[in-house]
Amino acid sequence: MVVELDTTLAELYANHGLPGPIVVDLYRIYTHIDLHDNFPRESVFVEDEDPSTYCSEEEDLPRFKRWALNSRTIRHLPMVGPADVILYLPYNSRDDINRALDQFAKHQRPTVQYVDLDSPNMAKDRKMAIKDKKLVYWRPKSWLVDEDCAVSPELSYMLNDKRFLIHPELPTPLLEMISLLHEDQRDTLVNRPLPFVVKFCRCSSGQGTYIATTEEERLQMLEGVCRYRERGGEDIQVSEFVDSKKPHYGVNFFVGRNESVQPCFLGATEQIVTNNGVWIGGIIDYQEQGELERRLRNTIAAVARTLQQYSYVGWVGIDIIFDSNDRPLVVDLNARIAAGIGIVLFSKHFMSMGLPFARMKTVSFPGPASGIYTALSASIESGQVIVTLSAEVTDTESVASVVFGGRTRDDLNAVADWIEDVLRTCLH
């Protein structure tokens, strides 16, 4: 079955004030790890991530580099739509990319511009790939400073800092910034009444987030803050703990250049997180989206107005918690392509099959990347399962990003278990 998306990133930019051709860079940067001689660690737009989160052992480093340069980055490639996308060789297989894109309607497929990291002409080749196009990117990088970007890397860096959440027009929980350079402020973490939440300023996907509801969790937070200070961290965000029994949502919308036009609501996913706040996926109920849009309209508008004050245009993801008075509070802001792009654009596809629920999930399995297509062939052909990317991270292991639909939540969970079972029994 051919998959047609509700819209694409390229279409959203074209319809909201950026009509010229765009080229997209989907790569993330790392502050403590060189991915390649031509992809060194970031020294300007640094992030606060703990390197041990990604790669705790030296022998894991080759796998991590390969993962970071293929599956981590390009799992959202099909959702870019009809625009150019930069991908780096030799870490991305043309066969793997083509196999993923062949599932989608031809008029919505991106055009891949391959740049060889091993080439002595890498920088020149990349320059040619982006020539005469507006550059859209996932994370700001040093090499973007002198390029024609839809949003300057300096602005992106500021907007995606946790410090920006103290903006008075953003509807957030009570929060404050604490300087780790002052001992008296650091001591407040030891004596502060539980519960509360600590976040490092430049982390994502729940990394650098500590939810302290017990003294044991306080101790874990203090140890994390100590490591953070050793890496050069200076400030942290401390906020009230919102004890909500309702789902936590990842809300996706697009902000255009015209302030008189309402932001385009794209969808809200229920966040799947670990007990310590690390994001591991999302579930969406397409039938619920109209009601969620109504409930979140004022919150979305407030965030959009704030971003437009800085001339931001692009995808936005906000994490929302409803408090005890049913007020939606913004607990995180991602003024960039957010993870929700991997699931919110499939509503017409799944609803046409009578599948109002969908989920995205990352799976690993032994053998080549093509193995998952064989193992799940019937469900892929029916359209219930979509493999947005499958890539090899070692000579014997592959990782895939899958989106799948279900008739009910229980059905969705059953499909998730079935995928794991099939991959375990067929490919081991």
For the chain, the C-alpha Rg in angstroms (whole number) is 21
Q: Tell me what the pLDDT averaged over the chain comes to.
A: 92
22-32 residue pLDDT tens: 999 999 888 88
Residue with tokens 């969970």: 413
Mean pLDDT of 17-42: 91
**Whole-number Å distance between alpha carbons of 154 and 160:** 10
Query: C-alpha distances in angstroms, 14 versus 11, 236, 257, 281, 305?
Result: 5, 37, 11, 29, 20
Q: pLDDT band at 56, cuts 50/70/90? A: low
Res 275: pLDDT: 61
pLDDT at position 421, please? 94
Query: Is residue 54 over pLDDT 90?
Result: no
Pinpoint the residues of the chain covered by CATH 3.30.470.20. 244-334
User: With 70 as the cut, is the pLDDT of residue 363 above it?
Assistant: yes
Distance CA 26, CA 49 (A): 18
Helix or strand or coil: residue 178? strand
Average pLDDT over residues 15-24: 90
Over residues 28-45, the mean pLDDT reads 91
Reported pTM: 0.94
Q: Are 64 and 33 in contact (CB under 8 A)?
A: yes
Query: CB-based contacts of 195: which residues, under 8 Å, 6+ apart?
Result: 211, 212, 213, 241, 243
DSSP per-residue string spanning 219-260:
HHHHHHHHHHHHTT--EEEEEE-----SPPEEEEEEE-S-TT
> What average pLDDT does the segment 89-95 reach?
91
Q: What is the mean pLDDT of residues 225-247?
A: 90
CA distance 393 to 368: 9
The CATH number of the structural domain formed by 174-240 is 3.30.1490.20
| 367 closest CA partner among 428, 425, 424 | 428
- pLDDT score recorded for residue 157: 97
Q: Per-residue pLDDT for 133 more than 80? A: yes
What is the reported pLDDT for 278?
60
Lowest-pLDDT range of 115-119, 194-198, 243-247, 252-256: 243-247
Q: Which of the four pLDDT bands, split at 50, 70 and 90, describes residue 183? A: confident
**279 or 168, which is more confident?**
168
- For the stretch 256-296, pLDDT in tens is 988 888 999 999 999 876 665 566 668 999 999 999 999 99
User: What pLDDT was estimated at residue 277?
Assistant: 55
Q: For 413, what's the count of Cα atoms within 13 Å in the CB-facing half-sphere? A: 4
All CATH 3.30.70 domain ranges of the chain, comma separated, are: 354-426
- Which residues is 319 bridged to in the sheet? 250, 332
- As its CATH architecture, domain 354-426 has 2-Layer Sandwich (3.30)
- Within the chain, which residue ranges are assigned CATH 3.30.1490.20? 174-240
Fold of 244-334: D-amino Acid Aminotransferase; Chain A, domain 1 (3.30.470)
Label residue 120 exposed, middle or buried (CB < 10 Å: 0-12, 13-18, 19+): exposed
Cis peptide before 195 (omega within 30 of 0): yes
